[in-house]
Amino acid sequence: MSAGEIDLLPGERVLWAGEPVQRPLYVAADGVIAPAGLVLAAAALWFLLTKQPSGPTMALTVVALVLGLYGAAGRSIVRYLALGRTTYAVTDSRIIARSGLFRQKERSSELAGLSEPVLKPGPSRTGTITFGGSGAVTLMGVGEPKRVRDLLTKAIDEAKARQAPPEAGSSAA
């Protein structure tokens, strides 16, 4: 994401912009979701072939089959393809991710509201950076992840300091 593609807020400046240099096909959550999807797909396929349902039961079984196949493999494939069109930016007040397989969608999180960035190292000197709370932007497959994490740590501290009320050391008497 270049600085020219970002809709900056008044007075906002870009500190870092990049994109995933590594697109993980497998993430930790897939360790639960993929096998569950496989079991659901197998059960739905077995039900379709042995019971030969009709009407609403057939429709529900086909939905279960599709959901199971998506959980087993589709979710990973969609994430992999979407990461190929993902860009990230860190400004002095926000972290921004623009992603989407067919239509680009932008998500942002205010730096002052984020917890300390957590780096999970990946292959080939890449990593994923998360922020502890749900709903915050996640940076997957980032190159030079330690440098980006350190930059984010400093930017978050500075954003929180700007929002902190002035110290109560001086009062007018």
Whether 93 and 47 share a structural domain? no
Whether 106 and 144 share a structural domain? yes
80 close to 25: Cβ distance less than 8 angstroms: yes
* pLDDT tens digits, one per residue of 27-64: 888 999 999 999 999 999 999 999 999 999 999 999 99
Whether 92 and 12 share a structural domain? yes
- The span from the CA of 31 to the CA of 93, in Å, is 35
Task: Tell me the percentage of the chain whose pLDDT exceeds 90.
Answer: 70
* pLDDT tens digits, one per residue of 93-135: 999 999 988 888 989 999 999 999 999 998 889 999 999 766 7
Asked if residue 170 belongs to a domain, the reply is: no
pLDDT of residue 22: 87
Whether 40 and 67 share a structural domain? yes
Chain-wide mean pLDDT for the chain? Answer: 89
Of 81, 103, 123, which residue is a domain's last? 81
pLDDT grade for 25, boundaries at 50, 70 and 90: confident
- The span from the CA of 7 to the CA of 108, in Å, is 11
Measured in whole angstroms, the distance separating CA 44 from the mean position of its chain's CA atoms is 30
pLDDT of residue 3: 44
Whether 46 and 98 share a structural domain? no
Whether 90 and 133 share a structural domain? yes
* Residue 112, domain extent: 3-23+86-163
**How many domains, in total, are found in the chain?**
2
Whether 18 and 90 share a structural domain? yes
Of 65, 81, 97, which residue is a domain's last? 81
Q: Which residues contact 71 (CB under 8 A, 6 or more apart)?
A: 33, 34, 36, 37, 38, 40, 41
pLDDT grade for 171, boundaries at 50, 70 and 90: low
Of 81, 98, 119, which residue is a domain's last? 81
Res 2 pLDDT > 70: no
pLDDT of residue 5: 66
Asked if residue 137 belongs to a domain, the reply is: yes
